[in-house]
Structure 1
């Protein structure tokens, strides 16, 4: 049975969780990084529960306890064996929905962290990560959303384990965010049930090389390390122009390119010491050839992860 409310409720507070890009090519369901687009919750303890989605991006999302953020808060209370106190929960987001930038992970992590704060922090960060990873089914988005930076993470019956890396010097991110949605369920449905030994070895070797290159700052290896046969070739028909970007982005200044999460956003690494105009021009031309519209953003890698601030 759930326990009682915490003895002392906190003052109103804000939780901010970043967007994330998962997989980075071969690191399927195990590697990701965070970028500075945020989902923000403002939580005010009061005598009744209110869930208030704000802004056009959250139009149509539930304004009651069935909201995904509030359901995430209940997961924390259940794990802690406590009852979630009533509160007003205001939700805003800069993370584009269903675009492969971890919008659900940012909402999930923000809700889990907010509930832990509301309950008096009964759970440590490792447990919060485990709660989030088990809800998502993998840790590649939720780990960077929680910790920031670049994170390698595993999830199995023994627990959730991770290593966080600070971004290498001069590593920047360019994202192409098309103006159409692609559900994770649809993107997963096109994947095969079985892979050849050769494809498995390719994935293992390239994901290991990618993690090592990011850990040691070997930016020159990213183009080679980010090759993938596990998910990107199967999802390419769902994202017009993806194959062209994966094959040619390095000719226009990209250090490497990958489908961001399940897509349709595409991530390119770049060297921040160099201009990104040629890369932007190339990405724009790919969109134009395929009759697409969208936005292209140069972003740093967020290194702070989820933050809590008293209001």
Structure 2
């Protein structure tokens, strides 16, 4: 079966990992998206047109992360890859802790799945396995793939996930700075070992986070407490630490989004979300872009165009 001329449209959400206590485990899909069209063309060349975030910066050949993820997915299911033309319209900020690299990986995997419709079969475990191998950790790629709130964990047979539906009262608010931070740099600031009491603290808060997100949003402030990673990373992003402290001092459940430097606030309704945005506009010492988002429940979608 020839793939030439096949074209698919892909849409992938931003994500916020960790959510405070759930380090490398919890992730949330958010209503901010990268969208792309991928067409199988003759030959083996790869061309990429990028508009929006990353335009003029990210590679436009086979080394582009979306493109390399498509090629890796074809290889994973032992199918020869055609030439590719990718037209990407990006909205997810790069280097801000909102899952841009995970979204690119997932976009490539979803595009490959769409192009290979009727040729190769993909189940959830295979999709997550490929994504985790390419990205390194499952906590961002799981919600990007499947939407909602996800719990991700590793087994001897690869990564697994559980998707959960979030309480309708949960109202995410993201503050995006002008600065960026490398995930690699953020990870290097964490110790190899942590105190036993801190580990127990985070286990309790992670369990509480599930209850808060699914049933009891009024518990989100306590549920977002963390002792495993945010304090260790604070020196690399002092403005982020300052903003989290400001918000939490005023009763808002603020956390570092992913590796930062964006800040996620998980409010328990639209009213507190507006109040939190107003607080930051009045008191923040550096500029922050406030984005009032919804939880994305679909995850990555792919639709055949031709």
Q: 1:123 to 1:175 in 2, by over 3 A?
A: same
C-alpha separation in 1, matches of 2:71 and 2:40: 15
Task: Quote the residue 1:50 is aligned against.
Answer: 46
Q: Report the equivalent of 1:193.
A: 192
| SS of the residue 1:133 aligns to | helix
Q: Helix, strand or coil for the counterpart of 1:55? A: strand
1:1-311 mapped onto 2 (5 Å cutoff): 6-7=1-2, 11-48=6-43, 49-58=45-54, 59-120=56-117, 121-215=120-214, 217-250=215-248, 252=250, 254=252, 256-274=253-271, 276-288=273-285, 292-311=286-305
TM-score by length of 2: 0.92
Q: What is the rounded CA distance, in whole Å, between the counterparts of 1:286 and 1:137 in structure 2?
A: 37
- How far apart, in 1, do the equivalents of 2:112 and 2:152 lie? 23
Task: Report the aligned-residue RMSD.
Answer: 1.8
- Listed one character per residue, the Cα deviations across residues 249-289 of structure 1 (whole Å, up to 9, x for unaligned) are 256463x111000000000011334253321122234532x
Cα separation, partners in 2 of 1:275 and 1:28, compared to 1, 3 Å: closer
Q: List runs of 5+ in structure 2 lacking aligned partners.
A: none
* Contact 1:98-1:181 at 8 Å conserved across structures: yes
The structural deviation recorded for 1:46 is 1.6
Q: What TM-score do the two structures reach when normalised by structure 1?
A: 0.91
Do 1:244 and 1:286's aligned partners in 2 also have CA atoms closer than 8 Å? Answer: no
Unaligned runs of 5+ in 1: 1-5
Structure 1 residues 113-160: Cα deviation after superposition (integer angstroms, max 9, x where no partner): 111221234322321111101222211110100111110111233221
Write out per-residue CA displacement over residues 210-267 of structure 1, whole angstroms, 9 at most, x where no aligned residue.
Answer: 123223x21121111111111100112222343444344256463x111000000000
Distance in 1 separating the partners of 2:222 and 2:239: 20
Q: Residue deviations 1:185-211, cap 9 Å, x none?
A: 111111111111111111212112212
Output the CA distance in 1 between the equivalents of 2:155 and 2:195. Answer: 23
Q: Secondary structure, in 3 states, of the residue corresponding to 2:211? A: helix
Partner of 1:123: helix, strand, or coil? Answer: coil
On the 8 A contact 1:18/1:306 being kept in 2, the answer is yes
CA distance in 2, matches of 1:247, 1:293: 16
Instruction: Give the deviation of 1:78 after TM superposition.
Output: 1.7
| Counterpart for residue 3 of structure 1 | none
Q: Distance in 2 between matches of 1:286 and 1:78?
A: 51
Secondary structure of the equivalent of 1:29? coil
